[in-house]
Amino acid sequence: MYIPVVVSCQDTDVVRSPEALTLLQLIQGIDMGTPLLPPDALQKAYGEAGSVALTEVRVYPPENAGGWGRGAARGGDADLTSGRALDISSDEQMAQREEAICDRAPDLVKALQTLNVEIDVDRAVDLLRTYASEDGSLDRAGFSDALAAARVPVNLKPPDQSPTFSLVAVTGESVGKEANVSAFVGLSLHLRHRVPIVVKGGRRAPGDTKVRTAGACYATFGSAPK
């Protein structure tokens, strides 16, 4: 039983995406702590500044994936790039935000060019509308989300069904708390913290199987369901 996991849509013929290169480095024991995977990536996933101890990374296969994942889907990577909630109470605020976005779009184009991501101003405006704050600015998290979205071709449809990655950790407030993350973050933190990946075989624990990852721009999980 194999579960393909798309980490980057750029690596179609050559491994060139920052995500793939980061995974290759982590496999070799090199952790650069870049903005793509900052040192506090685990804390950010849980929204906590204190101590967070990762215990395992869970993979929930999509519904009806060869008998795996029975029941409702738990969400997916698309949830991480669905935009941000805004607190805008008037048309005037919305107009001011739109004006700020149009002014800042060329700067976003230039910023992404320094990271070898080419977009036009119209695409930059769309990204800012999705990820900018109420005043039209991008904070660190917003820029990371916009960068990830900009790397995916606009005409590329994501898979209809993708496995969900979930971190399991001990925080200052709970034990075994889960946090959904992207496939890249899940695989990267698995390598950084050297914790097992567990493919969930449904509600029954005996169906769970620990696996090893394979590949850099994609990973394949293999196991025999019970």
Residue 25 in tokens: 């480095």
**pLDDT tens-place string over residues 107-135:** 999 999 998 888 999 889 988 988 888 88
In the structure, what pLDDT confidence band is assigned to residue 173 with cuts at 50, 70 and 90? confident
Structure tokens, 49: 């500044």
* Cα angle: 100, vertex 102, 107; to 5 degrees: 90
| Confidence at residue 152, expressed as pLDDT on a 0 to 100 scale | 73
In which region does residue 14 sit, left (phi positive, over 0), alpha (psi from -120 to 50) or beta (all else)? beta
Collect all residues with Cβ–Cβ distance below 8 Å to 193 and sequence separation of at least 6: 42, 54
What mean pLDDT is reported for the chain?
A: 76
DSSP annotation of 2 reads E
Residue 132: predicted pLDDT: 87
Q: How far is CA 101 from the centre of its chain?
A: 24
Instruction: State the pLDDT at residue 144.
Output: 86
**Res 27: pLDDT:** 92
Edge-to-edge strand ranges of the sheet holding 164-170? 175-181, 164-170, 53-60, 197-199, 209-211
pLDDT for the residue numbered 65: 54
Q: Is 124 helix (H, G, I), strand (E, B) or coil?
A: helix
Q: Bigger pLDDT: 108 or 85?
A: 108
Residues 190 and 43: beta-carbon distance below 8 Å? no
Return the pLDDT at 217.
Answer: 41
Mean pLDDT for 75-93 is 56
The pLDDT tens digits of the residues spanning 40-70 come to: 999 999 988 888 999 999 998 876 555 443 3
pLDDT digits (tens, 9 = 90+) for 193-207: 999 999 886 543 444
User: What is the structure's pLDDT at 103?
Assistant: 93
